[in-house]
């Protein structure tokens, strides 16, 4: 899990990122990223009830994405706000494939060098 100082929490940060951020779209998830004036990169993972009505399934998907980001955290550029939103049930996607797709999306948005 990523430290709480690097997690995106405020509603204003979410709305600003959704409104002005650049996006990467994949069949399983999409990523919104916005370069901010804050010196550290902050991240949020959103798994809506549309994906699954069961909280256990949503939380497992959220934890998997956070772990992938934590393992690649040293590659992240400072000063970004990132929102990763799941569109489908991520439990069926193999971890290695999910990691390569997330890293590819973050490289496309120039969040990871």
Q: Which domains does the chain have, with CATH numbers?
A: 4-108 (3.30.230.10)
> Is the per-residue pLDDT at 111 higher than 90?
yes
> Is the per-residue pLDDT at 4 higher than 90?
no
The candidate with the shortest Cα–Cα distance to 3, out of 42, 54, 58, is 42
Each residue's pLDDT tens digit, 17-51: 999 999 999 999 999 999 998 889 999 999 999 99
Question: Quick one: average pLDDT of 74-102?
Answer: 95
- Cα four-point dihedral sign 97, 103, 108, 113: negative
């Amino acid at each position: 899990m990523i430290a709480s100082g690097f997690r995106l929490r405020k509603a204003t940060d979410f709305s600003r990122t959704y409104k002005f951020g650049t996006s990467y779209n994949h069949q399983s998830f999409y990523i919104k990223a916005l370069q901010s004036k804050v010196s550290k990169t902050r991240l949020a993972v959103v798994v809506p009830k549309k994906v699954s009505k069961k909280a256990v399934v949503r939380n497992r998907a959220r934890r998997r994405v956070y772990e992938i980001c934590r393992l690649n955290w040293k590659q992240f550029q400072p000063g970004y706000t990132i929102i990763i939103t799941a569109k489908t049930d991520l439990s069926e996607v193999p971890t290695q494939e999910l990691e390569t797709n997330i890293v590819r999306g973050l490289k496309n948005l120039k969040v990871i060098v």
